[in-house]
Structure 1
Amino acid sequence: MRTNSFDGLCDACSAHVAAGSGSLTGKPGRWRTWCLACSPRPPARGAHDGWHRLPLASLDFETTGVDPHADRVVSYALLDEPGFEITGLIDPGVPIPTAASDVHGITETMVAGAPGPAEALTVVIDWVQALIERRVGLVVFNACYDLTMLRAEAQRHGLAEPDWERLLVVDPYVLDWGIERGGLGQRRLVDVAAYYGVRLDGAHDATVDARAAREVAVELAARHATVGTTSLEDLMGHQRTWYADRAEDWNSYARRVGRDLDDPTGWPLAS
């Protein structure tokens, strides 16, 4: 959801909503304006058991850019059991663009002397493989980006890869789309966190983002029993379907306006 930029009528109660005083949901051609009282809110937490009551790990990277095949990891956060965190900087061996530094605050000076990718990412890969053996779900917001980058980095540096086929991934980005079907508009981590009441101070810090993503995943499962009571194994199939649905929804728009198309099969690893 975003703040409404223009005057309008509330979609629910038809009250006048002045610009900047309500919220806006939807997508181009299907915008909906809401007054504050009627703005969409998530359901209350349920009492059901589910994977949100199990141990969950979380991973996040900060990187040199937005291409998971070509860009490089510059910092990582691995969150596991309470009190267990592994974080670090990586010297990617390539320049860090100013545009990337402006987002996450990590500069070439900061990573000078940090471990290189082969050393640092071996720690990440070993940890991911340990999660696979323990059958612990790994929360990654927009998993196809971070996990595709991890695979690309592993192949680039000749590292053994995790057993991807057995990895249990929980992607709040995809889960949120599966629940809302894109009806709430742009849903970055900061948007989904705000919607579910998860605190996110200092976005684009790997530890902050990993922690918020895990908390969002728990809230999604606690507030939507059909998601929370699904086994993590079955949830993998649902997420692949929802990711494909989201890609096709975008592609129908992209074809009309001449934008690049998304790969409907690109979750949790993009081709």
Structure 2
Amino acid sequence: MRLNKYPGLCAACGIAVAIAAGRLIGLPGRWQTVCAGCTPTPPPRGDHPGWHVAPLASLDFETTGIDPATDRVLSYALLGDRGTDLCGLIDAGVEIPAASAAVHGLTAEALVGAPKPPEAIAGIVAWVQDLIDREIGLVVYNAAYDLTMLRAEAERWGVEQPDWNRLLVVDPFVIDWGIQRGELGPRRLTDVAAYYGVALDNAHDASADARAARDIADEIGMRHPAVAAGTLADLMIRQRSWFADRADDWNAYARRVGRTLDDPAGWPLAAVAAPAVMA
């Protein structure tokens, strides 16, 4: 939850809230301010079974932009379920927009000498396929972005795709929406990490983001027994439903204000234009 930019009254108790003295909650077009005393907090941790008790892997990318058809992966973090992590840079050989570099700090000069995309993407895909073969859950915050980017890069460079249909994804972004239904305001990785008390000291660093995403998944599992119940396959079904609900909710707002619509079926892979093949 983010600090309020404007003064107002607390939506819960009615007291006056000065600028930056409270938090924003609610949905797009229906934001509300709450005071510090009324700011929602997560439920306590519990000792119950669930998918969260098994080791999970985690993945995150930093890229040149947000369009899988044209943008490229520049750095990656692959945090393994066995304690072995693979992190690295990729020399994509393309110009990096200043706006993107300002977010993650990666420049073309800094990537000189890093592995080229065919080698790096092949290694990432092989790592994902190993998780699939071992039925290990992969945590990806906003999976529809990162996994769609990986699929596009594999297609671009002629790398054989992993068996996407068998991949078990744990997406804290989608699960959080399934729990909160958007009522807690903006829910970027930094917002949800703060809500669950997860450390994220270097946001937009792939390794830091991947670690925070996995820690959030663990916290969600420990604090929400109903969500933790069942297998990862069960969770996949629920996440698809939650993502579709979220898209429908967003689209109702987007139609009113002329924004881009989301595809309710676009998780964990979004339907996007095929990238130009480079291989």
* TM class, shorter-length: over 0.9
TM-score, reference length from structure 1 = 0.97
1:9 deviates by 2.1
Backbone CA RMSD of aligned residues: 1.1
2:253 — aligned with what?
A: 253
1: CA distance between counterparts of 2:81 and 2:236? 22
SS in 2 for 1:66: coil
Contiguous gaps of at least 5 residues in structure 1: none
Would the aligned equivalents of 2:143 and 2:171 in 1 still touch at CA under 8 Å?
A: yes
Q: How does 1:37-116 map to 2 (within 5 A)?
A: 37-81=37-81, 83-116=83-116
Summarize deviations over 1:139-195 as a string: whole Å, max 9, x none.
000001010010011111111110000000000000011100011111100000000
SS in 1 for 2:88: strand
Do residues 21 (structure 1) and 21 (structure 2) align?
A: yes
2: CA distance between counterparts of 1:82 and 1:166? 20
Which 10-residue stretch deviates more, 216-225 or 30-39? 30-39
SS in 1 for 2:24: strand
Aligned AA (2:123): V
2: CA distance between counterparts of 1:249 and 1:197? 27
SS in 1 for 2:27: coil
Do residues 157 (structure 1) and 157 (structure 2) align?
A: yes
1:12 deviates by 2.2
Would the aligned equivalents of 1:63 and 1:73 in 2 still touch at CA under 8 Å?
A: yes
TM-score, reference length from structure 2 = 0.95
Q: How does 1:69-218 map to 2 (within 5 A)?
A: 69-81=69-81, 83-218=83-218
Do residues 267 (structure 1) and 230 (structure 2) align?
A: no
Between Structure 1 and Structure 2, how many residues are aligned?
A: 271
1:120 deviates by 0.6
Summarize deviations over 1:104-149 as a string: whole Å, max 9, x none.
1111011111111110111111110000111100000000101001
Contiguous gaps of at least 5 residues in structure 2: 272-279
Aligned AA (1:199): A
2: CA distance between counterparts of 1:92 and 1:269? 22
1:216 deviates by 0.4
1:37 deviates by 1.1
Runs (4+) of structure 1 exceeding 4 A deviation are: none
Would the aligned equivalents of 1:7 and 1:16 in 2 still touch at CA under 8 Å?
A: yes
Which 10-residue stretch deviates more, 74-83 or 38-47? 74-83
1: CA distance between counterparts of 2:28 and 2:242? 21
1: CA distance between counterparts of 2:91 and 2:28? 41
Would the aligned equivalents of 1:69 and 1:148 in 2 still touch at CA under 8 Å?
A: no
Summarize deviations over 1:52-99 as a string: whole Å, max 9, x none.
110100000000111122210001000013531101110112211111
Q: Percent identity?
A: 63
Aligned AA (2:261): L
Would the aligned equivalents of 2:77 and 2:210 in 1 still touch at CA under 8 Å?
A: yes
SS in 2 for 1:152: helix
Which 10-residue stretch deviates more, 197-206 or 18-27? 18-27
